Amino acid sequence: MDTMILAVLVSASSMFYEAQVPSFGCNSGAEVAKLQSVRSDAQVFQKLLAEHVLYGQCVTIPQGAVVEGSIADTGRSTLLINAKSDPPGYVVPLRDFEPKKPDARR
């Protein structure tokens, strides 16, 4: 029953986010943390990301991509995205994304 309540709360807090930079999403927060720790070294980061993508642990996300997500951790440093459209979803670094502003044409 607790899982059902958590699922309802997560889906209720989902919103759309836009990638502000080329980013990545992984199967776990540990993989995101590992990539974040080497991100300042572009060569090491690209090699490690390519390896994780090759093994199906991570995906790349282009700048400007719009995703549906919710805060994934209590530290508010990651998002869980696309859990509805591509279960179980991907964990992404929150700092790469900004909330998507509503379309003004409505």
Paired with 106 in beta bridges are none
Question: Measured between alpha carbons, how far is 25 from 31 in angstroms, rounded to an integer?
Answer: 9
Question: Measured between alpha carbons, how far is 24 from 51 in angstroms, rounded to an integer?
Answer: 13
The residues, any chain, with a CB within 8 Å of residue 15's CB and separated by 6 or more, are: 68, 69, 70, 99, 100
Q: Encode pLDDT of 32-63 as tens digits.
A: 999 999 999 999 999 999 999 999 999 999 99
Query: Is the Cα dihedral 28, 96, 77, 8 positive or negative?
Result: negative
pLDDT of residue 75: 72
Domain boundary assignment for the chain? 2-99
Q: Give whichever of 3-7, 68-72, 100-104 has the largest mean pLDDT.
A: 68-72
Q: Encode pLDDT of 10-33 as tens digits.
A: 444 689 999 999 999 999 999 999
Query: What string of DSSP letters covers 19-38?
Result: ESS-EEEESSHHHHHHHHHH
Global pTM reads 0.80
